[in-house]
Amino acid sequence: MLRIIFLGWVLFFTNVLAAQVEITGTVTDEESNEKLIGASIIVKGTAKGTITNIDGEFAITLDSLPQIFIISYGYPNIECIIREEGHYDIKIRSNSLIFSPVLVIGTIGTWQKLQEVAPNLTRIKAEDLQLDERSNIQATLNRVPGVFMHSGALNTNRITIRGIGNRNLFGTAKIKAYFDEIPLTNGVGETQLEDIDLNSIHEVSMLKGPSSSLYGAGLGGVLHLNTPTEYLEQKSLSVGSTWGSYGLAKYDTGLQWMDFNKHIQVQYNRLHSDGYRDNNEYDRQNLFFTSKFRFGKQQVSALVQHIDLKAFIPSSLNREDYENAPQKAAFTWGQVQGFEDYQRTLVGLSYGIDFSSKFKNTTSIYTSLFDSYESRPFNILNENSNALGGRTLFSWESVIKYYTRLQLQLGAELYQENYDWQTYITNEGVQGGILSDNTEQRQTQNIFTQAKLEYKKWEANIGLSYNAVQYDYTDKLGQNATDTYTFEPTFSPYFSIQYNTSKQQVYGIVSHGFSPPTLEETLTPDGAINPDIQPEKGWNFELGLRGRNQASTLTYQLSLYSMHIKDLLVARRTDFDQFVGINAGKTLHNGLEAQVAYAWRTNNNWDIQTFLNYAYADYSFKSFIDAENDYSGNALTGTAPHTLGAGWRWEYDKGFYGNINYQFVDAMPLRDDNSISSESYHLANTKLGYRFSLPKFKIKVDVFGGINNLFDMNYASMLLINAGSFGGRAPRYYYPGLPRNYYGGLRVEYLF
């Protein structure tokens, strides 16, 4: 069926190439009339481009007309439509446009403006990823309003977006993630980001809520980790080390080889930490390789990532231990010296082709392997997973009239995973007899389409995705008892409209999303598939505003949203550290997110930026009945109603730089009955550094150091909601955050 659909699109959209035409022109500054040397001219949606010479002139050959040029020169980028062969005089100024300077990798491998992907997309730039100590991405994500990453340890994390995913107990779920065009999310919607080294990431693009049909219909949103996309002339070898409190030691080695037709990057990283708590030692090795080659109208890219990790697990603490002995491990986990030891490999290949200037396709195939052994107080878990998948996207666009542009996209994503797991008796950490032996085949299918129409200052997007999920479960100890469950296919529509001016953008979104149950939610306590479980589904309604002042020194953003979730998936505790999933009701997520930033340059060559972020979350159970308990009207568990972030960063021309960041997190309800809440807390982190070059030796050096939790606050960096109290034990809600801690490091880069 998919082949027929794609063939139909190819036949419908393929255009006969016209005779080549040559375009010449000059690029000048509108105010000074100065010829601009080295201005970049890119043919939009392609890899074709050129730069201006010493006289500000350029020449480029095109296959067809009309085309759109993207011109950049340190100013905000501008776009101009080229309709006929000839010479063009292009004038640009420092305040040309507001949004077009922000370019991201849109869906898969296609350059698009920020608002072309979705009007509420958030972009975390490379310099934002450099603000912190870089052992994980928590501090970076927590600066984004509406996003919160709990971190109980380097290997125990949970990311939530607008309250979605906060009920997943020990990891991230209901949020889709991609590394370039390769999915990181498994067949039941779970994602691991905490073990990816930040040196492998160039920037992060983020969609909050089900905000685009092109990524399927993840209810929480999408995180897109991007590697560098520029084709520049640069070859370098780098080494770096970071040392810090509690035995932190990180070593990095990287090779980067780029020119105008290829981009090769190899990274090896090793991270060790003794940990702040007992039974908290952590060791991780990352090997990362990515390459991009382009051949005329074609591009081939590859991505390989291998992670080898062993981490001991201190788990959560009860109130008394959290306040008086936060360095302790939970008694049961410390007694068996619980740990996880796993290897994870991801391999992906991608091929892109421009059939014409209007019609193109990118197709990716990928595979992943996962092998894990986890020693727990109640049993030992052995896991093996292998997955195979593919994704393809066809895109066609055309300028219909001078002010009208139409873009159509159609694609599909297929994923199949074989997941095997066994549990064994534990004798104080020593493996005993087998308790269970299971296999689950997971299959997901996603077909999506989206159309965009631009007319003068207006832009509208409409899309639809079809989502199908099937689980096949086999209990190998139960005479190979097999159970199959197919969730009803879900159709998720998407619509957005926006109005753009030179200084503002106003948008509205209506979208639908769904999230399948995780493995723990799918199975009953005796190991069978729960036939009554259903995916969570919901609608998102959003209004937003972006803007800037005339000089682009002040930028601001405001969004108001309301998400209506039904068939809420709830993990009901059945025994000590064991759970079963149920659909227990509906939740309402009303919220506000605001950002403002100001940047200026002083007369003595200091670049200074300040920012302020705020999120208000009015999340509640619209209707929620769990057994005999009715929690309707209560505040949603595990979500802070108020979060605030602020920061100040600076950089001096002579190489000195630094930043200080502040975060406030409000109290969160810990139980569905709202009988107990965590305490609010304040955090401040700071970093200082000095960069310098040794041109004679072709060497760049970066020396840095920092302090986390500057004011030594006591706080819980992760919370376990609805913690049980079996056998007279006090509930263990709290993962203690690190007290004040220090780090310093050195990075040396050799250019050749």
pLDDT confidence of 104, banded at 50, 70, 90?
Answer: very low
Whether 4 has a pLDDT exceeding 70, the answer reads: no
Give the bridge partners for 151, in sequence order.
157
User: Once rounded to an integer, what is the mean pLDDT over residues 725-739?
Assistant: 87
More confident residue, 367 or 258: 367
pLDDT confidence of 31, banded at 50, 70, 90?
Answer: low
pTM score of the predicted model: 0.83
The full length of the chain comes to 752
Tokens of 729: 């034990």
395 within 8 A of 106, measured Cβ to Cβ: no
**Residue 108: per-residue pLDDT:** 26
Tell me the DSSP string of 159-190. Answer: EEETTBTTT-SSSEES-EEEETTEE-B-TTSE
488 within 8 A of 470, measured Cβ to Cβ: no
Tokens of 650: 């600076």
Whether residue 66 is preceded by a cis peptide bond, meaning omega within 30 degrees of 0, is: yes
Burial of 715 (0-12, 13-18, 19+ CB in 10 A): middle
- Range scoring the smallest mean pLDDT among 132-141, 228-237, 250-259, 357-366: 228-237
DSSP state of 518: P
Query: 251 Cβ partners below 8 Å, 6+ apart?
Result: 239, 240, 241, 269, 270, 271
**Residue 54: per-residue pLDDT:** 73
Distance CA 150, CA 443 (A): 29
Distance CA 447, CA 215 (A): 10
Give the bridge partners for 609, in sequence order.
599, 649
Give the bridge partners for 595, in sequence order.
557, 613
49 within 8 A of 41, measured Cβ to Cβ: yes
**Hey, which of 28-37, 254-263, 437-446, 661-670 has the most confident mean pLDDT?**
661-670
- Range scoring the smallest mean pLDDT among 148-157, 184-193, 248-257: 184-193
Distance CA 451, CA 495 (A): 10
More confident residue, 678 or 82: 678
Whether 111 has a pLDDT exceeding 60, the answer reads: no
pLDDT confidence of 426, banded at 50, 70, 90?
Answer: very high
Whether 741 has a pLDDT exceeding 70, the answer reads: yes
Residue 220, amino acid: G
Whether 486 has a pLDDT exceeding 90, the answer reads: no
Residue 533, amino acid: I
Tokens of 633: 């009207």
Distance of CA 587 to the CA centre of its chain: 24
pLDDT confidence of 17, banded at 50, 70, 90?
Answer: very low
116 within 8 A of 460, measured Cβ to Cβ: no
209 within 8 A of 221, measured Cβ to Cβ: yes
Half-sphere exposure of 332 (CA within 13 A, CB side): 18
pLDDT confidence of 231, banded at 50, 70, 90?
Answer: low
Q: Where are the alpha helices (DSSP H) in 418-533?
A: 519-522
pLDDT confidence of 50, banded at 50, 70, 90?
Answer: confident
User: Once rounded to an integer, what is the mean pLDDT over residues 458-470?
Assistant: 90
pLDDT in tens, 513-563: 888 777 667 766 565 667 777 888 899 999 999 888 877 788 899 999 999
